[in-house]
Structures are given as structure tokens and as C-alpha cells.
Chains A and B, each alone.
Chain A
Amino acid sequence: MKQKECVAMLLAGGQGSRLGVLTQKIAKPAVPYGGKYRIIDFPLSNCINSGIDTVGVLTQYQPLELNDYIGSGKPWDLDRLGGGVHILPPYQHIKGADWYKGTANAIYQNIPFIEKYNPKYVIILSGDHIYKMDYRQMIKEHKESGANCTIAVIEVPMEEASRFGIMNCNPDGSIYEFEEKPKAPKSNLASMGIYVFNWETLRKYLEEDEQNPNSSNDFGKNIIPAMLSDGCKLQSYRFADYWKDVGTIDSLWESNLDLLNPKVELDLSDPAWRIYSRTPSAPPQYIGETANLQNSLVTEGCEVYGNVEFSILFENVTVGEGANIIDSIIMPGATIKPGATVQYSIIAEDVVVEEGAVVGERPEECADLETWGVSVVGTKLKVGKNAKISAAKMIDKNVEEGEII
């Protein structure tokens, strides 16, 4: 087979436990985003738009929905002869069976997949960020710098730097130190979890790392530090556009609502850089006589008779007459009955919010602002009539009529 210049490996096995009820039954990359997408649409679309047509998707936690969603890869044009998208779950081999022990071990276990394409470079991606990025540019700079590994970095506010993996760089952009969540950060350049490796170098380090029983087989904790201490050339690649880790409820909510903010530069309508997704066959959206929609995103299959402000409705959502949806995200198939209120909340797939129920609280109405947060109702649950759910609640079972939580 013809040699591929670059193969992408997309780490999609993480549980995303901080998303709570949203990832109880699905892997984080399958979490809905932006009205009609799922998080994984971003790296997959970036790949095909960057000319990378061979993508391995490493799955482990709750892969059913993700497998189903990716299917043959057709929506991303990744159903290809000699390439395309491949789902790579852990498998049984002659010496036994192992789960993926860490990010590096997941790649290690799939060395034969990568070898089949014999690539010069491998790009490691993760399935939990929202961003549009031309990987070609990063690979080009990687080649020009002659580095063994190039890591994409983004400037974060200094006060938040201790939440990220921080790359300490020389003026020429080469990396001299990596610190995972440093207490006293020396720089504000955070790793975006996007690595371009020369495949030969990466394979050597993966094999060495596997021999070390004390290693946690992780790129950030083991592979990158090992390469640094061996004197490999590691280069940073600066990225300055929109990038958001959607690993927490608050960041997922914020990042969705960023789509409604004209000041945020994340344009999903750019025909030159489409974000593709698997779309259901739903009828057009119907906006009823009594509806009022202000600064909101609505998609196919929705029926709206109520009031929707600063919110995002996914496909097949029904909003009854007199219902209020404010600063919220309503995922596919949910029904908000007449007179119900949903504010500052995320309503997961196929939830029913009955008449008169109130989900979530406005920050200004919250007694203690310190404890305020976005409320979440988990998949397929029912919120009974006139029930009330206050701020920052994570609902994982049906809420009875009139119940106050």
C-alpha cells in the first residue's frame, strides 16, 4: 500500500466523569454539542478538512453510541478506499487481553494498525475539545523545525494556568520543560492535547514505555517527559483561535452558548471549513403562532410554541405554549411541556419536563452565589408537574410531581 504521510489517532475512550449524568451511558466524544453536532465531529471534520483521510478512533468506555454514530465514516467523507475511519477498541491477543491502560498504551496496542499505513507522521488527537484547526499547518511547521514531536499550545489566562498541562518554552518555541497542573506556573502556554510525532520516534518511545512497569502509560506523564530527558527536540505550535475543553458541565454549557455570542470567533457556517455531522431525517422546524425566539439556535425536527431566549435546541425538541427556555441547552428529543421553565440548565436526550415544572435557577435569584451552577437532567428522565430543581443539581432519577430538589 502507498505510504500515508500522516495518520491520525483519536483518543475517544475517556469516560468524562466530570460530565456526570451526561456521560453515564455514552463516551464523552459522543456528547451532543451546538444544536446538531457531537464533540467528536470537530476533530473528525478537522482531519478531513486538513486532508488526513486515515483516522483510528480508540474507544473503550461505553462505545456503543459512538460506534453507531461514526458508522462507516460517510458523514465526514471518511469512508475511503485505503484509509478512512476505523474504530479501534481494546482486543484480545495471544498473551491475554488488556484494557487501554493509558493514552500511550492505547496507541501502543494499535501499532499494527499504524504500521499498515507506514506513515511518516502520526497526529494524536483527543475527543473532548471544540476547535477548528488546520492540522496541515502544524505538520508543515513540524517538518520545517525538524522536531521529533510538535505539541499544539494555546495561551490561557495566567490565573487558570495551574489547571492545565503547561509547556515551558525557549524563545524559538522549543520546549524545555513540561509541567502537569503546576502550582506555580512559569508560563501560560497550555498543551491542547494535540501531538505530531515522527512515527519512528514515537514507536520507539511507546515500546520503551511499555517495558517500564512503573509507567502509567500516558503521553503527558510519561512519553513527553522521557523524550525531554533524552534530549529529543520538542517544538511548540501556537494556536490562537477558539479552543475550549468541554470536560465539565460549566465549560460545556459555556462553550455551547459561545455560539450565540457574536464576539466569539467560532463560525460553524464557513463553507470552506464545514463541521460535518450525522444528521437524522427530521422534518423542518415548525415555529408556532405563539412562539418567541431570541438569539437562539434551533434545528430540524423542533416544534416551538413557547419562549426561547439565549438557548440551543437540538433536533426533535418540542417546546409547549407558555414554556420558557432561557440560557439553556436542550438535547435531542426532549419535550418541554406548556408552562414549564428551564433556565441555566442542560436537559439531556429524550427528557420530559412536565407542565409547570421549573428546572434551574438564575444566578441573581440564587440565595448563595457561591453555590450557583448549571443544573443537568440526565437522559430519558421525567421531571414531574410543578416540580422544582434548584441551581447546580445533577439529576439522575425521575423527579416526582411537586418535588423540590
Chain B
Amino acid sequence: MRINNCLGIVFPNVHDDLMFEMTEHRSMGSVPFASRYRFIDFTLSMLINAGITKVGILARANYRSLMDHLGSGKAWDLDRKNGGLFILPPYAYGEGTYTGHIDALNNALSFIRYSTQEYVVLCDCDVITNFNLEEMLDNHIESGADVTVAYKNGKLPNEAKKISVFKLKGDKITDILIGGKGNEICNHSLHIMVMKKDMLIEMVEEATAHSQNSIGRDILQAHMDKFDIRGYEVKDFAEIIDGPDAYFRVSKEILANKKSRESLFTPERPIYTKTRDDMPTKYGLESSVSGSLIGDGCIIEGTVKNSVVFRGVHIGKNTVVENCIIMQDSTVLEGAEIRNVTLDKDVTVSANVTLCGAPGYPMYIRKGSKV
């Protein structure tokens, strides 16, 4: 790892609307994932593991939980004198919040302009991946391309109306289609791209002058002929989360597939997160746990199968928890049975209650509810 000449810009809010209730009180970046993380942990860890030491977070709305999570940036080694973590919420008078990438970038233009880095990498927070971003930066610089976009060859996510699909010749992108048909195998964007900082500033100023607001459509697609745009294929685990269904599906994929877990949690590039100083998880007598990911600080006395359990969860005696996602500090009391259910934070399922969603259509229980 080395300190490199690249600034990180993260958009924690851009796909909030796809997640329905999950982002009612939080940004996409602070949605909990995989027993102990938030989405933004994957983005930030990738950036710092690539040697990036200055990161701007262009928060738009619902960012209280995000700010609480990020703090000074210490957990990601981003509490620095030189560079470090910058949270940049909207500050314009009376104009409300950002409406898109360009708007957000325009608002943060002085932050970007006065950064000394030559390159900038832009990341949304809707991808669960841990690929080698350093290699992508190196390729970009070596190739002399204007813009390099990370892509994955695979099935287009269902809800991905706005996802760019690329046609490639070698690593050169020859055509960009926005909002292709679902279910086809294609090269689709992973919402991570790198370019020169000065070029970004120029693009943002021009797009703002034309009241344009989409990076994909108004910048890349509109300038196909003008720019040298390349693709970087991500072969590691990479999944776009474009809704509660995808959230559930990808959580289960990590449970079921050891290779996916190993790719996402490679010891070469640890995923960092804020620690809670919970004690280890206690498995009681007569507990039965299988095929599950479990966070610290839990007390498990019942049966848990094929589920993702976050930190500080209590699962009482004689309970059955199957195909569930149980977020932090929730409680399932004695005798309850829940199947195909997502419990958000701080939910209590009372004793002897039965909750059941359909296998492909899980039930979702809101943060703080008592069932």
C-alpha cells in the first residue's frame, strides 16, 4: 500500500429511493450489511486500501446516522492532519438538497479544486465489493485514458433503470446504453470511476451551465466521441444493491457461497468499521446455529438457520429464526418463530409470535418496532 495522488469522492445518498423503508431514516451508505458493516464501510475501506488518504463524503439527506457512524474517520484511518475525512452536506441558501451527482459535485467544487491530488475517484455506495482499486488506478494512469469506469460482466440488476451498460472493444468503451433490459448478461457499470481532477471540474462546470445532472447521460454518454473512456473489469465479488430484494438476495449469497465470502473478506484488504466494544457472542446451552453469519455481542439461546445476525442481538430460548436478517440490537423473545423476515435495528419480536414472509419476498419490520 502506498499514499497515492488520488482524491476519493463518495455519494452516500444517490440510490436512497430504491431501498424504500430501509432508507427512511438513513442514507444508502449507512444501511447495515453482513452482521457488522454499513454499505459505506466497503467503499471507504476500498479507497484507503488503495492508498487514498483524502475522502469527501457528499451527503445529501438523512445523514445523521452516517455522521454518527463515520465520526472523525478514525476507524478507516482517516483522522489525518493532511487530508482525511470530509463530510460535505449541502450548504446552499434556500435551494434545498442535491438532486444528483453533478449538483453535489458543483456544491463541493471548492473542496475538489483546492485538493492537491491529480486524480479523483468517484464512488456511489450501492455496490458490495472489495476489488483491488489500486490496480484500477494504476491501469488508468498507465493507459492515459480520460475516464476509467469499473464494470462487471453479469446479469443486469432488475431495478437498474439508470445503470449504464457498456459496449467494449478491448478495454475501450465504444458505446454506453442507459437502462437496458433486465436479466441479460452484459457489461454493466459498478458506479466507480476515475479521472483527472481538472477534467472533473471542467465537466461539472459545463454540465451545471447546461442544467444537466447525470454523469452517465450528460457527461459520459454525451462525450463518447470526445473522450477516451475505458472499462476496468471487476472479476471479484461485486453486487449492486438496487432494492430490498437485491439486499436480501446478496445477503443470502454471502451466506451460501464460501467463495463470495472469501472474495469480499480477503485478508489482503480488510473491511474496516466502527467498533462497538461488544463482548464475544454467547451461544447458550441448547442453542442450534447453522449456516449463519453472526456479529459480536449477541446472546443466542434458540435455533438460527441460514440467517444474518448483526451485533448485540438477543435470540431467546425455543425460538426458530430461519432465512432471516436481524439487524443490530433486535430481540426475538422466547418461543417466537420467524422465517424469511428482515428485522431492522432495535426491533422486538414478542414471545410466541410467529412471523413468516415468502422465500422470495421477505417481510420487513421497521426500525424500533415491537411486534
A interface, CB within 8 angstroms of B? 34-36, 74-75, 260, 268-269, 274-277, 279, 281-300, 308, 312-313
Give the CA-CA distance A326 to B297 in the complex, in Å.
22
Query: B223: CB under 8 A from chain A?
Result: no
Give the CA-CA distance A274 to B280 in the complex, in Å.
13
Residues on A with C-beta less than 8 A from B277 are 75, 274-277, 279
Query: Does A294 lie within 8 Å of B285, measured CB to CB?
Result: yes
Residues on A with C-beta less than 8 A from B288 are 292
Query: Does A36 lie within 8 Å of B286, measured CB to CB?
Result: no
Q: Taking CB as reference atom, which chain B residue is nearest A291?
A: B290
Name B244-290 residues within 8 Å CB distance of A.
Answer: 261, 264-265, 270-273, 275, 277-290
Query: B58: CB under 8 A from chain A?
Result: no
Query: Does B285 lie within 8 Å of A284, measured CB to CB?
Result: no
Query: B187: CB under 8 A from chain A?
Result: no
7 interchain pairs (CB within 8 A)?
Answer: A35-B280, A36-B296, A279-B275, A285-B296, A287-B290, A287-B291, A292-B288
Query: Does A297 lie within 8 Å of B273, measured CB to CB?
Result: no
CB distance from A324 to the nearest CB of B (A): 15
B271, B279, B283, B285: the one within 8 Å of A268 (CB): B279
Query: B147: CB under 8 A from chain A?
Result: no
Residues on B with C-beta less than 8 A from A285 are 35, 281, 293-296
Q: Taking CB as reference atom, which chain A residue is nearest B309?
A: A284
CB distance from B267 to the nearest CB of A (A): 9
Residues on B with C-beta less than 8 A from A294 are 283-287
Query: Does A299 lie within 8 Å of B292, measured CB to CB?
Result: no
Q: Taking CB as reference atom, which chain B residue is nearest A315?
A: B280
Give the CA-CA distance A260 to B281 in the complex, in Å.
11
Give the CA-CA distance A274 to B275 in the complex, in Å.
13
Please name 17 further chain A to chain B contacts, defined as beta carbons within 8 Å, in addition to the given A275-B277, A285-B293, A299-B296, sorted by A numbering: A35-B280, A36-B279, A36-B296, A268-B279, A269-B297, A281-B271, A283-B261, A283-B271, A284-B35, A284-B36, A286-B261, A287-B289, A287-B294, A288-B290, A290-B290, A296-B282, A298-B283
CB distance from B70 to the nearest CB of A (A): 16
Query: B34: CB under 8 A from chain A?
Result: yes
Residues on A with C-beta less than 8 A from B64 are none
Residues on B with C-beta less than 8 A from A290 are 290
Query: Does A288 lie within 8 Å of B74, measured CB to CB?
Result: no
A287 and B292 contact, Cβ closer than 8 Å, known pairs A269-B279, A293-B287, A295-B283: yes
Q: Which of B278, B279, B291 has the most CB of A within 10 A?
A: B279
Give the CA-CA distance A308 to B288 in the complex, in Å.
11
B261, B272, B287, B296: the one within 8 Å of A300 (CB): B296
Number of B residues, CB within 8 Å of A: 34
Q: Which of A34, A281, A282 has the most CB of B within 10 A?
A: A281
Residues on A with C-beta less than 8 A from B289 are 287, 291, 293
CB distance from B297 to the nearest CB of A (A): 7
Query: Does B290 lie within 8 Å of A281, measured CB to CB?
Result: no
Chain B contact residues: helix, strand, loop or mixed = loop
Q: Taking CB as reference atom, which chain B residue is nearest A294?
A: B285
Give the CA-CA distance A55 to B130 in the complex, in Å.
39
CB distance from A334 to the nearest CB of B (A): 15
Give the CA-CA distance A287 to B294 in the complex, in Å.
8
Query: Does A289 lie within 8 Å of B290, measured CB to CB?
Result: yes
Q: Taking CB as reference atom, which chain B residue is nearest A286?
A: B293
- Which 4 A-B residue pairs are closest in the complex by CB-CB distance? A284-B35, A35-B280, A283-B265, A299-B280
B interface, CB within 8 angstroms of A? 34-36, 74, 261, 264-265, 270-273, 275, 277-297, 304
Query: Does B283 lie within 8 Å of A35, measured CB to CB?
Result: no
B34, B275, B283, B296: the one within 8 Å of A293 (CB): B283
Residues on A with C-beta less than 8 A from B74 are 74
Q: Taking CB as reference atom, which chain B residue is nearest A299?
A: B280
Residues on A with C-beta less than 8 A from B290 are 287-291
Give the CA-CA distance A276 to B279 in the complex, in Å.
9
Q: Taking CB as reference atom, which chain B residue is nearest A300?
A: B296
B261, B273, B281, B284: the one within 8 Å of A298 (CB): B281
CB distance from A45 to the nearest CB of B (A): 9
Residues on B with C-beta less than 8 A from A313 are 280
Give the CA-CA distance A283 to B266 in the complex, in Å.
9
CB distance from A169 to the nearest CB of B (A): 35
Residues on A with C-beta less than 8 A from B272 are 281
Give the CA-CA distance A268 to B282 in the complex, in Å.
11
Give the CA-CA distance A277 to B279 in the complex, in Å.
10
A284 and B280 contact, Cβ closer than 8 Å, known pairs A292-B288, A293-B287, A294-B286: no
Residues on B with C-beta less than 8 A from A297 are 279-283
Residues on A with C-beta less than 8 A from B292 are 286-287
Residues on B with C-beta less than 8 A from A275 are 277, 279
Residues on A with C-beta less than 8 A from B296 are 36, 285, 299-300
A284 and B286 contact, Cβ closer than 8 Å, known pairs A277-B277, A312-B280: no
Q: Taking CB as reference atom, which chain A residue is nearest B279?
A: A268
Give the CA-CA distance A286 to B36 in the complex, in Å.
12
Residues on B with C-beta less than 8 A from A269 are 278-279, 297
Residues on B with C-beta less than 8 A from A34 are 279-280
Q: Which of B74, B283, B290 has the most CB of A within 10 A?
A: B283
CB distance from A135 to the nearest CB of B (A): 20
CB distance from B266 to the nearest CB of A (A): 10
Give the CA-CA distance A289 to B261 in the complex, in Å.
15
A276, A284, A293: the one within 8 Å of B295 (CB): A284
Give the CA-CA distance A291 to B292 in the complex, in Å.
10
Query: Does B291 lie within 8 Å of A284, measured CB to CB?
Result: no
CB distance from B130 to the nearest CB of A (A): 10
Q: Which of A34, A260, A287 has the most CB of B within 10 A?
A: A287
A295 and B284 contact, Cβ closer than 8 Å, known pairs A284-B35, A287-B294, A289-B291: yes
Query: Does B285 lie within 8 Å of A295, measured CB to CB?
Result: yes
Residues on A with C-beta less than 8 A from B287 are 293-294
Residues on B with C-beta less than 8 A from A312 are 280
Give the CA-CA distance A348 to B74 in the complex, in Å.
30
Query: Does B280 lie within 8 Å of A298, measured CB to CB?
Result: yes
Residues on B with C-beta less than 8 A from A260 are 282
Q: Taking CB as reference atom, which chain B residue is nearest A278?
A: B275
Give the CA-CA distance A300 to B280 in the complex, in Å.
8
Residues on A with C-beta less than 8 A from B34 are 283-284
Give the CA-CA distance A279 to B270 in the complex, in Å.
13
Residues on B with C-beta less than 8 A from A286 are 261, 292-294
CB distance from A16 to the nearest CB of B (A): 23
CB distance from A273 to the nearest CB of B (A): 11
Q: Which of B35, B74, B294 has the most CB of A within 10 A?
A: B294
Give the CA-CA distance A104 to B283 in the complex, in Å.
44
CB distance from A282 to the nearest CB of B (A): 8
Residues on B with C-beta less than 8 A from A274 are 277
Q: Taking CB as reference atom, which chain B residue is nearest A292?
A: B288
Residues on A with C-beta less than 8 A from B295 are 284-285, 300
Q: Taking CB as reference atom, which chain A residue is nearest B278?
A: A269
CB distance from B364 to the nearest CB of A (A): 21
CB distance from A82 to the nearest CB of B (A): 19
